[in-house]
Structure 1
Amino acid sequence: MSDQKKLLITSALPYANGRLHLGHMLEHTQSDIYARVNRALGRQLLYLCAEDAHGAPIMLRAAKEGVTPEQFVETTRAEHWQILQDFNFSYDHYHTTHSPENKELVNRIYQGLKDNGHIETRVVAQLFDPEKNMFLADRFIKGDCPKCGAEDQYGDNCEVCSATYDATAMKNPRSTISGATPVIKDSLHYFVNLNNFEGMLKQWMNNGALQEQVINKLKEWFDMGLQSWDISRDAPYFGFKIPDTEDKYFYVWLDAPVGYLACLKYVCEQSGEDLKDWIAPDSNTEMVHFVGKDILYFHSLFWPAMLYGSGFKVPDSVFVHGFITVNGKKMSKSRGTFINASTYLKYLEPDYLRYYYAAKLSDKIADHDLNMQDFVNKVNSDLIGKIVNIASRCAGFINKKFNGVLSAQLHNPDLYQQLVASSDAIAELFVARKYSQAIKLIMSLADTVNQYISDMQPWQAIKDESRQTEVHQVCSTGINLFRVLISWLAPVVPATAEKAADFLKVDFRDWHASKLPLLNHEINKFKPLITRIEMASIEKMMQDSKENLKPLTIN
């Protein structure tokens, strides 16, 4: 399964104005498993992410907190990065879009688009807050829907009748920042002409690397016609100023995805690598972005067009996932199901959630439900009842009766080879991002191993002095089979796997290492690798989430 192409893997950038919650953890789990499996298979790769640091919401939030936007961003970046590390996401670097690397690349991309005739300007009418002396983005405007008259709707669409409209058409508009009635003012804006890229985007769509649902959505957008994309915002704004302007800034959605490359640029500068080897159009690199379905439009139209139009490599794959519900419903603060990642970490192990998500994730764009009772049952049944149970059933005999040394030969080498023979198939499922199928196969094999140990009954055989060698070989076979199973799960439950590696005196960095059994091998005394989830911990976490109702964003 070797592949000479270097692999660049990214997750969508967490926004600095929001707190990380369990919905975010789905994507980071998905991308981290992909990175860990590919590392174990010997791929040269970089796994990167960064803080999405610009935009009016951050500017306003910082002012409310009495700090500069830069200070606010750096504080939230540190908090986010700590949480990502606590969940054992193995990023090679976590950067920020408010960086010199990003500014340089944004300007290069803009200049490339401009030189190639893809930038146009035109005057647009916008709502302006006369008290705050600033143009208002749609999210900072509320009023009556111009179609159905529903009150208290945002400036771009109506949640009652689903109509979309221009904010200037709203009735009784008001600024959510100051409460003032906005006025209409003209402003010169900069646009990328997406129509110039329709042919290229259609060709890119058919490269064989996109999910079927992504292709179908792209076809819908092509049928509707591509619109020019407004890449500018008026001052005051926290971001990068457009070159040769006094009061125009790049829209956050232009500089945010460039953050992937800015992070890469920083890493290359630290390591001495040439950035061109990663991002030139003819570079020997596979670029894979993991994103949620809510930002598909930006990543499948704007982003590849920006890169192509400015002479950079386009993504090879934009891999899209769905949303998370909790107990069958949208996450809710009042029900305690809007659970921040930091709250989760107070009560539960990261490996629990990582495993549960992996057992659900597929290569399809589907929403997934985090059902708390099923979560408890699944983790306890699979990780503790099936996987760790194998080691706990066998280790005591090895340590007490055989001086902690495994036997010189296996009792059932055919069973060992049966497991090892599935190694490539499991790796292929993980690489294809069919995680739930990989987990299902691993657990099926774990059932076979547990049945083998139950059939051999070493706890009975140990009573017979003439069967000591048999017990030694049976339990050594069990330990070796456990090693194979946990090595496959190491990308999913790294903290548990690390404890298992210490117990076995091995490491799991090489996917193929377990093809040869451990014979005459000394192991450490067995210690519990992971404990059962108690429903009481879930209830405490949800109660804590009810009590901690701080807003994620400013509205």
Structure 2
Amino acid sequence: MQTLVTTALPYANGQLHLGHLLEAIQADIFVRFLRQSGQPTLFLAGDDAHGTAIMISAEKQGISPETLIDNVQKSHVADFKNFLISFDHYHTTHSPENRELSALIYTRLQERGDISTRTITQAYDPVAELFLPDRYIRGTCPKCKTPDQYGDNCEVCGTTYSPTDLIDPVSAISGAKPVPRESEHYFFHLEHYTEFLQHYIQTAERLQPEVANKLQEWFHEGLKPWDISRDAPYFGFEIPDAPGKYFYVWLDAPVGYLACLAHFAKTHPDYSLEQYWAPESQTAIHHFIGKDIVYFHALFWPAMLQGAQFRTPSALHVHGYLTINGQKMSKSRGTFITAEHFAEHINPETLRYYFATKLSNHVEDIDLNLSDFMLRVNSDLVGKYVNLASRSAGFITKHFNGQLAPLLHDPALFAEAQAIRDTLETLYKTHEYGKAMREIMGLADRANQYIDHEKPWARIKTEGATETVQAICTQGLNLFRLLTLYLKPVLPETAGRVETFLQIPPLTWQDAEHPLLAHAIAPFTPLLTRITPEAIEALCPPPA
């Protein structure tokens, strides 16, 4: 079966941070596992490039929004490349394909009677001369009285409210007091899809159970029409036949999943939009998203697709937030780490591994404890995994001219290592990466214990034991090869270096079936180095 995998689209208004990478790495491990198993898999994403925030940021920088999003996209692509995210294509929502598809979906919904208009009252900045999104209004929380809070929720007490509830509200753009002003807006009648959505979210394996249960809160309150328009000035796509009215960013952003494929297909004739998104398509479609955007992806998005005669995603994989040293990422606390900054100081593959040890199929927040990160990487990857190869390869090169033995020393141990393949396959498929890493490191422990017990460094001094030493070290390197195969979705670059060292083709999941025997290998060179306290210190910028 063909599979399409997407991540949420990062907002084109700044650098990627480690929170973005958590999701990208989670999805990439899944994609690499599928490909390693021989399953055709297409991996797409792009930048979410519309909205008031981009318009305002570009104005502050003295550049056009188009220049801003182009610059940001280049930096995002470079960051994802550094962290070995294997996208087949990375596009943008500010594209002709997305404009056309957004208009098509809107028109089909309109023809079904799912679109209506009504006049609403909004906060307006009389100085900047624009309607203010809730996040661009600041004031004192009406509940806990904390000053300088957003117009939709308080970061201190967690209360949600309307901007009109704020005490002494001001525009975050000009500092002026917002004034109420009426405007006609366009609404999508989400409530028309209540029965469809109830069935959709309760379909087996579509969502994690805790996510499906949380979504029931929306049905208890009753689904309501969704405001899909914004007033000029606004950076985005104008609604057809509605001058001065623009699609709200959350309408055209998910359409970007389709637009990215449409753009990719223009230069890849074996692919088409219909192949993946037509109503009758049997392709598996997986969205990886954060828990903060579940409502858009599990309710609004499938309803739009259903009404516009496209198929809906097979599964949504929802993850929690990332904290650093137990705290929310914050420049003021020195815990806001960009992808670029991390890659300057520490091997990005080590973060892939650490995230993998923490990830499960549950919606759990993940903490990047930097001390634990250093200890875990140094112990698992350097002390167990790489060490197994280094302590075996030297003997093969020095005493046997790089030639592996024709037989294993302990076939039962190799069979035990082979036997966990099916378990790992299930764990990777179900996104239980933490459990998979524990299985793999358990095997690394047993492999190192085997070398410790057999002591090739002592046996080589015994006359007539050379063939046994060759078999022992061949055993060690075959266990290392299996560990590499199992870790390859997480450590693709290291796996590539191992393939060069062992002088073998790219490892596939089927290569676990047979050992590597009577085969010449290259001299061993270091594969990974330890993370130092100095690197961790350099990673954390001083508080802003």
Give me the TM-score of the superposition, normalised by structure 1: 0.95
Q: SS at 2:287's partner residue?
A: strand
- Equivalent pairs counted in the alignment come to 542
Q: What is the 5 A alignment of 1:448-487?
A: 448-487=446-485
Q: SS at 2:542's partner residue?
A: helix
1:394 aligned partner: 392
Q: Residues of 2 paired with 1:382 and 1:270: CA distance?
A: 42
Q: Residues of 2 paired with 1:234 and 1:168: CA distance?
A: 19
1:286 aligned partner: 284
**Per-residue deviation, 1:333:** 2.0
- Check if 1:54 corresponds to 2:47: no
Q: Residues of 2 paired with 1:161 and 1:347: CA distance?
A: 36
Q: What is the 5 A alignment of 1:524-539?
A: 524-539=522-537
Q: What is the 5 A alignment of 1:35-434?
A: 35-145=31-141, 150-159=146-155, 162-209=158-205, 210-272=207-269, 273-434=271-432
Q: Residues of 2 paired with 1:148 and 1:122: CA distance?
A: 34
The aligned amino acid for 1:243 is P
**Per-residue deviation, 1:448:** 1.0
The aligned amino acid for 2:2 is K
**Per-residue deviation, 1:459:** 0.5
Given that residues 48 and 92 in structure 2 are in contact (C-alpha distance below 8 angstroms), is that contact kept between their aligned partners in structure 1?
yes
Q: SS at 1:465's partner residue?
A: coil
Q: Residues of 2 paired with 1:395 and 1:10: CA distance?
A: 40
The aligned amino acid for 2:177 is T
**Per-residue deviation, 1:222:** 1.1
Q: Residues of 2 paired with 1:473 and 1:157: CA distance?
A: 65
1:552 aligned partner: none
Distance 1:522 1:87, change over 3 A: same
- Unaligned runs of 5+ residues in structure 1 are 550-555
Q: SS at 1:271's partner residue?
A: coil
The aligned amino acid for 2:470 is H
Q: Residues of 2 paired with 1:297 and 1:357: CA distance?
A: 25
Q: SS at 1:447's partner residue?
A: helix
Q: Residues of 2 paired with 1:519 and 1:235: CA distance?
A: 69
The aligned amino acid for 2:9 is L
Give me the TM-score of the superposition, normalised by structure 2: 0.97
**Per-residue deviation, 1:169:** 4.5
4+ runs deviating over 6 angstroms: none
- CA deviation map 1:160-184 (0-9, x unaligned): 5544333244443321111122221
- Unaligned runs of 5+ residues in structure 2 are none
- Check if 1:495 corresponds to 2:493: yes
Given that residues 143 and 153 in structure 1 are in contact (C-alpha distance below 8 angstroms), is that contact kept between their aligned partners in structure 2?
yes
1:442 aligned partner: 440
**Per-residue deviation, 1:275:** 1.5
**Per-residue deviation, 1:334:** 3.2
Q: SS at 2:15's partner residue?
A: coil
**Per-residue deviation, 1:523:** 0.6
Distance 1:488 1:75, change over 3 A: same
Given that residues 125 and 168 in structure 1 are in contact (C-alpha distance below 8 angstroms), is that contact kept between their aligned partners in structure 2?
no
The aligned amino acid for 1:263 is C
The aligned amino acid for 1:478 is G
Query: Percent identical across equivalent pairs?
Result: 50
Q: SS at 1:39's partner residue?
A: helix
- CA deviation map 1:286-342 (0-9, x unaligned): 111001111111111111111111111111111100111111222232332211111
The aligned amino acid for 2:424 is I
Distance 1:17 1:144, change over 3 A: same
**Per-residue deviation, 1:266:** 1.3
**Per-residue deviation, 1:464:** 1.4
Q: SS at 1:47's partner residue?
A: strand
1:11 aligned partner: 7
The aligned amino acid for 1:506 is I
Given that residues 499 and 507 in structure 2 are in contact (C-alpha distance below 8 angstroms), is that contact kept between their aligned partners in structure 1?
no
Given that residues 421 and 512 in structure 2 are in contact (C-alpha distance below 8 angstroms), is that contact kept between their aligned partners in structure 1?
no
**Per-residue deviation, 1:153:** 2.9
Q: Residues of 1 paired with 2:166 and 2:407: CA distance?
A: 79
Q: Residues of 2 paired with 1:168 and 1:373: CA distance?
A: 45
Distance 1:357 1:161, change over 3 A: closer
Q: Residues of 2 paired with 1:84 and 1:76: CA distance?
A: 12
- CA deviation map 1:189-211 (0-9, x unaligned): 01111111110111011111210
- CA deviation map 1:126-185 (0-9, x unaligned): 111112211111111123445666543322234455443332444433211111222211
Q: Residues of 2 paired with 1:317 and 1:483: CA distance?
A: 33
The aligned amino acid for 1:100 is P
Given that residues 487 and 508 in structure 1 are in contact (C-alpha distance below 8 angstroms), is that contact kept between their aligned partners in structure 2?
no
RMSD: 1.4
- CA deviation map 1:19-44 (0-9, x unaligned): 21111111111000000000111111
Given that residues 324 and 335 in structure 2 are in contact (C-alpha distance below 8 angstroms), is that contact kept between their aligned partners in structure 1?
yes
Q: SS at 1:512's partner residue?
A: helix
Q: Residues of 2 paired with 1:346 and 1:397: CA distance?
A: 35
**Per-residue deviation, 1:546:** 2.1
Given that residues 126 and 168 in structure 1 are in contact (C-alpha distance below 8 angstroms), is that contact kept between their aligned partners in structure 2?
no
Q: Residues of 2 paired with 1:148 and 1:526: CA distance?
A: 62
The aligned amino acid for 2:523 is K
Given that residues 32 and 89 in structure 1 are in contact (C-alpha distance below 8 angstroms), is that contact kept between their aligned partners in structure 2?
yes
Q: SS at 1:221's partner residue?
A: helix
